[in-house]
Structure 1
Amino acid sequence: MKAVFGLLGHPVSHSMSPLIHNDAFQSLEIEAEYHVFDVAPQVVKQAIDGIRALGIAGCNVTVPHKVAVMDYLDEIDNEARLIGAVNTIVNDNGRLIGYNTDGRGYVESLLGCQQMLQNKRVLVIGAGGAARGIVTSLLNEGIAALAITNRTLSKAEPFKQLADLFKTEIVLLTKEEATRRLVEFDIIINTTSVGMSPNIEESPLLLETVKEHAIVSDLIYNPIETTFLKIAKNKGIQTLNGVGMFVNQAALSFEYWTGQKPNRKRMEQLVLQQLGGK
């Protein structure tokens, strides 16, 4: 009997996770299948109970359930607890353990174009669930300073609690302040959905004062190149889209489930083909 894995979210019909995970199972000759489970917010507990009852081997968790599922798991990995969100569940003989691979997945993609992060000053746009994992992983890499800007600045207040833990300066900036001080930052990361299809003309921040050797990054991968990244590219700035993070976090989840490493390059090619890119 094939092991069953899946994705918990709402909505999930657009997800490319089944494409890359099922291909990886097949390539590694693992008897398993990956499905999407559209779970309404009011039945998250029942969905977690269902994982146990049906013997589902593991799941990814996406919006809006990454925080809510934590209440119903048997164990939370230290990294996921620090982040305050879970994106991976492992069923260990009926014991459900929560992990978070988002932040590490992003940092691995960032290190592909930036050899070290220890002396870098970073601006993160957004203070939602996606920002949690990324901020924690960046701080864990020993960045020099972190600034967060968000439409509602009060939502970013909890991030300041990480300053003492990681001994790193964290400041909160309004969008106006962030735009004015953009030249101070080596890496600028959009973690919001601004610019995602179908609203592809939108950009989360003006980039007039971005410095020449900065990296401008966007977690969005549909479209592959957002307006935000196009503006940066037209200024000659190095850019990084969200495909690498998506692939890396999926591969890390796959390793938790199976103990085997999938072909990340093949995963990336499948995603790009699906998106119509190169």
Structure 2
Amino acid sequence: MRGKYQRQLVGVLGDPVDDNPTVVMEQAAFDSEQIPMDYLTIQVKCGDLEAAMKGLRAMNFTGINITMPHKGEVLQYLDEISESAQIMGAVNTIYWKDGKLVGENTDGKGFLKSLKDGNVVMEGKNVVILGAGGAARAIAVELAGAGIRNIMVINKNSDHAQLLVDIINKKTPAAGSFMPWEGCVRIPKDTDILVNATPIGFLDDEKPDIQYKELPKNLVVCDVIPNKLKTSFLQEAEKYKLKTFNGMEMLINQGALAYELWTGRKAPVEVMKQAMRKEYRES
């Protein structure tokens, strides 16, 4: 039982984290529903995650989001992990259930809802994912479950890529493959959906080093970067008249799921969308 002056604490742990806009939509949602909850944006550097998770328990946080680079490492500090998060090997949302600290992954589910809302057909299609981190794993597992036939992982670290390919091949109905990221990459001509699941573009105007002029004509291009409506990657894709999806929609969708895990209430999604549109001055 909390007194009238006590606030519930949630937030996000990561590094870098100062440009993560999750607080905008989550705080708007809590305030609109008059829930006494504060969303904190907290930098936790590599090597400090164990201490942060102990602090989370000690300070009785209601829950937390986990972002780069901690989505994989955090599993060892939890009491319970959802089945899908176990398959992915990555957690992005933590909440309490029956006295246990539970890890879930809402990233892929939020991404999948964005594509479905945009009427993107996934059954039998081919996907290329740039990157092999926590977001890439979450997206790959959810896409495989939605009927995607082939998933190619393009990554500079071959060991990380192989881990993701093994997950796809051994634990999902899709077929996984790996292509090394060496120099300027040519995306295969039979690709239907291209996903940037790397941090490239998060802090600057960089874009993945690929051959944009050679992209398939009907390609759907997606970016998971959450703090920009149009990353340089998406702007480049739009020059070639390609359909694009930004990371903000994915962020809102996965944030709504996190809200529901923390509060036990249905998320005010429209309030969350309006808050983000106002933040980024979208008409």
Q: Report the TM-score, using the length of structure 1 for normalisation.
A: 0.91
Q: 1:210 matched to which residue of 2?
A: 215
Q: Whole-Å Cα distance in 2 between the matches of residues 165 and 53 of structure 1? A: 36
CA contact (8 A) 1:197 1:223 kept: no
- 1:131-164 deviations in Å (ceiling 9; x for gaps): 1111111111121111111123332001222213
Matches within 5 A, 1:119-268: 119-161=124-166, 162-175=168-181, 179-198=185-204, 200-268=205-273
Find 1:33's aligned residue among 26, 30, 38.
Answer: 38
Q: Displacement of 1:277 after TM fit?
A: 3.6
Stretches of structure 2 that go unaligned for 5 or more consecutive residues are 1-5
Q: 1:16 matched to which residue of 2?
A: 21
Q: Which amino acid aligns with 2:66?
A: V
Deviates more, 1:59-68 or 1:74-83: 59-68
CA contact (8 A) 1:6 1:37 kept: yes
- 2:203 partner SS: coil
What is the root-mean-square deviation in Å for CA atoms of aligned residues? Answer: 2.1
Q: Whole-Å Cα distance in 1 between the matches of residues 229 and 277 of structure 2? A: 8
Q: Which amino acid aligns with 2:248?
A: V
Q: 1:87 matched to which residue of 2?
A: 92
Q: Whole-Å Cα distance in 1 between the matches of residues 86 and 226 of structure 2? A: 27
Q: Displacement of 1:185 after TM fit?
A: 0.8
Amino-acid identity (%)? 32
CA contact (8 A) 1:146 1:169 kept: yes
Q: Whole-Å Cα distance in 1 between the matches of residues 27 and 231 of structure 2? A: 28
Q: Displacement of 1:117 after TM fit?
A: 1.1
Name the CA shift for 1:6/1:167 in 2 (closer, same or farther; >3 Å). closer
Q: Whole-Å Cα distance in 1 between the matches of residues 24 and 186 of structure 2? A: 42
- 2:30 partner SS: helix
Find 1:118's aligned residue among 111, 117, 123.
Answer: 123
Q: Whole-Å Cα distance in 2 between the matches of residues 239 and 80 of structure 1? A: 27
Q: Whole-Å Cα distance in 1 between the matches of residues 186 and 48 of structure 2? A: 44
How many residues are treated as equivalent by the alignment? 277
- 1:213 partner SS: coil
Name the CA shift for 1:54/1:221 in 2 (closer, same or farther; >3 Å). closer
Name the CA shift for 1:21/1:229 in 2 (closer, same or farther; >3 Å). same
CA contact (8 A) 1:125 1:204 kept: no
Q: Which amino acid aligns with 1:81?
A: Q
- 2:229 partner SS: coil
Q: Displacement of 1:95 after TM fit?
A: 1.6
Q: Displacement of 1:55 after TM fit?
A: 1.6
Q: Whole-Å Cα distance in 1 between the matches of residues 130 and 234 of structure 2? A: 14
Stretches of structure 1 that go unaligned for 5 or more consecutive residues are none
CA contact (8 A) 2:184 2:211 kept: no
CA contact (8 A) 2:238 2:244 kept: yes
Name the CA shift for 1:46/1:228 in 2 (closer, same or farther; >3 Å). closer
Q: Displacement of 1:209 after TM fit?
A: 2.5
Q: 1:62 matched to which residue of 2?
A: 67
Deviates more, 1:1-10 or 1:67-76: 1-10
Q: Whole-Å Cα distance in 2 between the matches of residues 4 and 241 of structure 1? A: 28
Q: Whole-Å Cα distance in 1 between the matches of residues 212 and 26 of structure 2? A: 36
Q: Which amino acid aligns with 1:120?
A: K
CA contact (8 A) 2:189 2:216 kept: yes
- 2:147 partner SS: coil
CA contact (8 A) 2:21 2:227 kept: no
- If asked which structure has higher relative contact order (CA below 8 Å, sep 6+), I would say 2
Q: Displacement of 1:41 after TM fit?
A: 2.9
Q: Report the TM-score, using the length of structure 2 for normalisation.
A: 0.89
